A = this chain, B = another copy of it.
Amino acid sequence: MPALRPYHRDLSYSYAPGFFPCMEALKKRPDSVSRVLVHSKAESSDILPELLALCRERSIRVETADRALARISQKDNVFAAAVFAKQEHPLQKDSNHLVLYHPGDKGNLGTILRTALGFQFLNMAVILPAADLHDPQVVRASMGALFSMRVQSFTCFEDYHAAYPEHALYPFMLQASIPLDEAAANAVSPFALIMGNEGAGLPAEYLTLGQPVRIPHNPAIDSLNLAVAASIGMYAFSKKHNI
Protein backbone atom coordinates (compact mmCIF):
# COMPACT_ATOMS: atom_id res chain seq x y z
CA MET A 1 0.00 0.00 0.00
CA PRO A 2 1.40 3.39 -0.92
CA ALA A 3 1.85 5.90 1.91
CA LEU A 4 -1.02 8.34 2.32
CA ARG A 5 -0.22 11.94 1.53
CA PRO A 6 -1.62 15.09 3.07
CA TYR A 7 -4.58 16.09 0.95
CA HIS A 8 -3.90 18.01 -2.22
CA ARG A 9 -6.23 18.86 -5.08
CA ASP A 10 -4.08 16.97 -7.59
CA LEU A 11 -4.31 13.64 -5.77
CA SER A 12 -6.61 11.03 -7.30
CA TYR A 13 -8.01 10.22 -3.85
CA SER A 14 -9.34 12.18 -0.89
CA TYR A 15 -10.44 11.66 2.69
CA ALA A 16 -13.87 11.59 4.29
CA PRO A 17 -13.04 12.67 7.86
CA GLY A 18 -15.32 11.89 10.78
CA PHE A 19 -17.46 8.87 11.63
CA PHE A 20 -20.60 10.07 9.88
CA PRO A 21 -19.05 11.06 6.52
CA CYS A 22 -16.95 7.88 6.65
CA MET A 23 -20.09 5.72 7.14
CA GLU A 24 -21.83 7.52 4.29
CA ALA A 25 -18.89 6.73 1.97
CA LEU A 26 -19.03 3.06 3.00
CA LYS A 27 -22.79 2.82 2.56
CA LYS A 28 -23.30 4.84 -0.62
CA ARG A 29 -20.03 4.50 -2.57
CA PRO A 30 -18.28 1.42 -1.15
CA ASP A 31 -16.50 0.78 -4.46
CA SER A 32 -14.69 4.09 -4.16
CA VAL A 33 -13.30 3.37 -0.68
CA SER A 34 -9.81 1.84 -0.66
CA ARG A 35 -9.26 1.82 3.11
CA VAL A 36 -10.50 3.19 6.39
CA LEU A 37 -8.30 4.83 9.00
CA VAL A 38 -9.23 4.53 12.65
CA HIS A 39 -7.67 6.26 15.65
CA SER A 40 -6.46 4.13 18.55
CA LYS A 41 -8.71 6.17 20.82
CA ALA A 42 -11.78 5.34 18.72
CA GLU A 43 -12.35 2.11 20.63
CA SER A 44 -14.72 3.79 23.03
CA SER A 45 -16.98 4.98 20.22
CA ASP A 46 -20.48 3.53 19.90
CA ILE A 47 -20.28 3.67 16.14
CA LEU A 48 -17.02 1.77 15.72
CA PRO A 49 -18.56 -1.76 15.68
CA GLU A 50 -20.95 -0.74 12.88
CA LEU A 51 -18.09 0.83 10.94
CA LEU A 52 -15.92 -2.28 11.30
CA ALA A 53 -18.80 -4.55 10.30
CA LEU A 54 -19.39 -2.53 7.14
CA CYS A 55 -15.71 -2.72 6.23
CA ARG A 56 -15.64 -6.48 6.83
CA GLU A 57 -18.74 -6.98 4.71
CA ARG A 58 -17.21 -5.04 1.84
CA SER A 59 -13.66 -6.40 2.33
CA ILE A 60 -12.25 -2.93 2.98
CA ARG A 61 -8.97 -2.73 4.84
CA VAL A 62 -9.00 -0.97 8.24
CA GLU A 63 -5.82 0.55 9.71
CA THR A 64 -5.04 2.14 13.03
CA ALA A 65 -3.37 5.33 11.89
CA ASP A 66 -3.23 8.07 14.53
CA ARG A 67 -0.58 10.14 12.82
CA ALA A 68 -2.13 9.95 9.36
CA LEU A 69 -5.48 11.06 10.83
CA ALA A 70 -3.89 14.02 12.58
CA ARG A 71 -2.17 15.02 9.33
CA ILE A 72 -5.35 14.69 7.30
CA SER A 73 -7.76 16.39 9.64
CA GLN A 74 -5.64 19.26 10.89
CA LYS A 75 -7.73 18.85 14.04
CA ASP A 76 -7.25 16.45 16.91
CA ASN A 77 -10.75 15.14 17.10
CA VAL A 78 -11.10 13.06 13.96
CA PHE A 79 -11.22 9.41 14.97
CA ALA A 80 -12.00 7.86 11.59
CA ALA A 81 -11.62 8.66 7.91
CA ALA A 82 -12.33 6.83 4.68
CA VAL A 83 -9.80 7.05 1.86
CA PHE A 84 -11.84 7.27 -1.33
CA ALA A 85 -11.15 7.59 -5.06
CA LYS A 86 -12.43 10.84 -6.54
CA GLN A 87 -15.19 10.23 -9.04
CA GLU A 88 -17.37 12.26 -11.32
CA HIS A 89 -20.82 11.07 -12.38
CA PRO A 90 -22.62 12.17 -15.54
CA LEU A 91 -25.86 13.83 -14.53
CA GLN A 92 -29.26 12.24 -15.10
CA LYS A 93 -30.93 13.82 -18.11
CA ASP A 94 -34.45 13.62 -16.71
CA SER A 95 -33.68 14.96 -13.24
CA ASN A 96 -33.59 18.55 -12.10
CA HIS A 97 -30.11 20.03 -11.72
CA LEU A 98 -28.34 22.50 -9.52
CA VAL A 99 -25.59 24.38 -11.35
CA LEU A 100 -22.92 26.24 -9.38
CA TYR A 101 -20.96 28.78 -11.39
CA HIS A 102 -17.46 29.39 -9.93
CA PRO A 103 -18.29 28.62 -6.29
CA GLY A 104 -15.32 29.75 -4.21
CA ASP A 105 -15.98 28.78 -0.61
CA LYS A 106 -15.54 25.25 0.77
CA GLY A 107 -17.96 25.74 3.63
CA ASN A 108 -20.66 26.94 1.23
CA LEU A 109 -20.05 23.94 -1.04
CA GLY A 110 -20.47 21.52 1.85
CA THR A 111 -23.65 23.21 3.08
CA ILE A 112 -25.10 23.31 -0.43
CA LEU A 113 -24.40 19.58 -0.97
CA ARG A 114 -26.20 18.77 2.29
CA THR A 115 -29.20 20.95 1.40
CA ALA A 116 -29.31 19.63 -2.18
CA LEU A 117 -29.64 16.09 -0.88
CA GLY A 118 -32.31 17.32 1.55
CA PHE A 119 -34.39 18.87 -1.24
CA GLN A 120 -33.83 16.01 -3.68
CA PHE A 121 -31.54 17.84 -6.09
CA LEU A 122 -29.35 14.79 -6.59
CA ASN A 123 -27.55 16.09 -9.68
CA MET A 124 -25.13 18.99 -9.44
CA ALA A 125 -22.98 20.63 -12.10
CA VAL A 126 -19.96 22.72 -11.14
CA ILE A 127 -18.62 25.27 -13.63
CA LEU A 128 -14.84 25.69 -13.19
CA PRO A 129 -12.85 27.33 -11.72
CA ALA A 130 -14.34 26.35 -8.39
CA ALA A 131 -13.39 25.37 -4.86
CA ASP A 132 -12.37 21.72 -4.68
CA LEU A 133 -15.49 19.62 -4.21
CA HIS A 134 -13.49 16.65 -2.95
CA ASP A 135 -11.54 18.58 -0.33
CA PRO A 136 -11.91 16.79 3.03
CA GLN A 137 -13.28 20.04 4.49
CA VAL A 138 -16.11 20.05 1.93
CA VAL A 139 -16.83 16.36 2.45
CA ARG A 140 -17.02 16.95 6.18
CA ALA A 141 -19.21 20.08 5.91
CA SER A 142 -21.53 18.11 3.60
CA MET A 143 -21.92 15.44 6.33
CA GLY A 144 -21.09 12.93 3.62
CA ALA A 145 -23.94 14.09 1.34
CA LEU A 146 -21.36 14.11 -1.49
CA PHE A 147 -21.61 10.29 -1.60
CA SER A 148 -25.33 10.42 -2.41
CA MET A 149 -24.98 12.96 -5.19
CA ARG A 150 -24.04 12.82 -8.85
CA VAL A 151 -21.60 15.67 -9.45
CA GLN A 152 -20.04 16.65 -12.76
CA SER A 153 -17.58 19.47 -13.52
CA PHE A 154 -17.48 21.55 -16.71
CA THR A 155 -14.84 23.95 -17.96
CA CYS A 156 -17.54 26.40 -19.03
CA PHE A 157 -21.30 26.82 -18.85
CA GLU A 158 -21.69 26.24 -22.59
CA ASP A 159 -20.34 22.71 -22.18
CA TYR A 160 -22.93 22.00 -19.49
CA HIS A 161 -25.73 23.41 -21.63
CA ALA A 162 -24.60 21.43 -24.69
CA ALA A 163 -24.65 18.22 -22.64
CA TYR A 164 -28.12 18.88 -21.17
CA PRO A 165 -29.90 21.08 -23.72
CA GLU A 166 -33.43 20.09 -22.58
CA HIS A 167 -33.23 21.72 -19.15
CA ALA A 168 -35.19 24.93 -18.59
CA LEU A 169 -32.66 27.42 -17.19
CA TYR A 170 -33.25 29.54 -14.08
CA PRO A 171 -30.28 31.81 -13.36
CA PHE A 172 -30.54 33.42 -9.91
CA MET A 173 -29.64 37.11 -10.19
CA LEU A 174 -30.15 40.26 -8.13
CA GLN A 175 -31.24 42.16 -11.26
CA ALA A 176 -33.73 39.50 -12.42
CA SER A 177 -37.39 40.36 -12.79
CA ILE A 178 -39.24 37.13 -11.95
CA PRO A 179 -39.77 36.63 -8.20
CA LEU A 180 -38.82 33.19 -6.91
CA ASP A 181 -42.33 32.04 -5.98
CA GLU A 182 -43.73 32.84 -9.40
CA ALA A 183 -40.85 31.12 -11.20
CA ALA A 184 -41.11 28.03 -8.99
CA ALA A 185 -44.89 27.78 -9.37
CA ASN A 186 -44.66 27.76 -13.17
CA ALA A 187 -41.58 25.57 -13.58
CA VAL A 188 -41.75 22.41 -15.68
CA SER A 189 -39.19 19.63 -15.10
CA PRO A 190 -36.46 19.04 -16.01
CA PHE A 191 -35.02 22.38 -14.94
CA ALA A 192 -31.66 23.73 -13.78
CA LEU A 193 -31.19 26.32 -11.03
CA ILE A 194 -28.02 28.30 -11.71
CA MET A 195 -26.21 30.07 -8.87
CA GLY A 196 -23.33 32.52 -9.30
CA ASN A 197 -20.09 33.08 -7.43
CA GLU A 198 -20.10 34.40 -3.81
CA GLY A 199 -18.64 37.78 -4.67
CA ALA A 200 -19.47 38.47 -8.30
CA GLY A 201 -22.70 36.53 -8.84
CA LEU A 202 -23.47 35.54 -12.44
CA PRO A 203 -22.20 37.61 -15.39
CA ALA A 204 -24.76 40.14 -16.69
CA GLU A 205 -25.34 38.20 -19.92
CA TYR A 206 -27.10 35.46 -17.96
CA LEU A 207 -30.05 37.88 -17.78
CA THR A 208 -30.88 36.80 -21.32
CA LEU A 209 -30.74 33.10 -20.47
CA GLY A 210 -33.95 31.18 -19.70
CA GLN A 211 -35.96 32.78 -16.91
CA PRO A 212 -33.81 34.81 -14.51
CA VAL A 213 -35.07 34.59 -10.93
CA ARG A 214 -34.83 37.02 -8.05
CA ILE A 215 -35.22 36.19 -4.36
CA PRO A 216 -37.03 39.28 -3.05
CA HIS A 217 -35.17 40.83 -0.12
CA ASN A 218 -34.68 44.09 1.69
CA PRO A 219 -32.23 46.41 -0.13
CA ALA A 220 -30.53 46.94 3.26
CA ILE A 221 -28.34 43.96 2.37
CA ASP A 222 -26.30 43.67 -0.83
CA SER A 223 -27.11 40.02 -1.33
CA LEU A 224 -27.83 36.81 0.50
CA ASN A 225 -25.06 34.37 1.38
CA LEU A 226 -24.61 31.87 -1.49
CA ALA A 227 -25.53 28.79 0.55
CA VAL A 228 -28.62 30.63 1.84
CA ALA A 229 -29.72 31.73 -1.64
CA ALA A 230 -29.15 28.26 -3.12
CA SER A 231 -31.06 26.66 -0.25
CA ILE A 232 -34.04 28.98 -0.55
CA GLY A 233 -34.08 28.42 -4.31
CA MET A 234 -34.00 24.63 -3.95
CA TYR A 235 -36.65 24.74 -1.21
CA ALA A 236 -39.03 26.75 -3.42
CA PHE A 237 -38.46 24.60 -6.52
CA SER A 238 -38.50 21.29 -4.60
CA LYS A 239 -42.29 21.44 -4.51
CA LYS A 240 -42.11 20.55 -8.21
CA HIS A 241 -40.56 17.15 -7.56
CA ASN A 242 -42.36 15.94 -4.44
CA ILE A 243 -39.97 15.01 -1.67
Contact = CB atoms under 8 A, between A and B. Distances in A.
Nearest to A236: B235
Chain B CB within 10 A, most for which of A107, A120, A216, A239: A216
Interface in A221-239: 221-222, 224-225, 227-228, 231-232, 235, 238-239
14 contacts: A107-B107, A111-B225, A114-B225, A115-B228, A118-B217, A119-B217, A224-B231, A225-B227, A227-B227, A227-B228, A228-B228, A228-B231, A232-B232, A235-B235
A241 to B, nearest CB: 11
B115 A224 contact: yes
Contacts of A117: 218, 220-221
A205 B160 CA distance: 48
A145 B222 CA distance: 11
Interface residues on A, range: 20 to 34
A38 interface: no
A118 B231 contact: no
Question: Sorted from nearest, which 5 A-B pairs have the closest CB atoms?
Answer: A118-B217, A118-B221, A228-B231, A232-B235, A111-B225
Chain B CB within 10 A, most for which of A143, A148, A221: A221
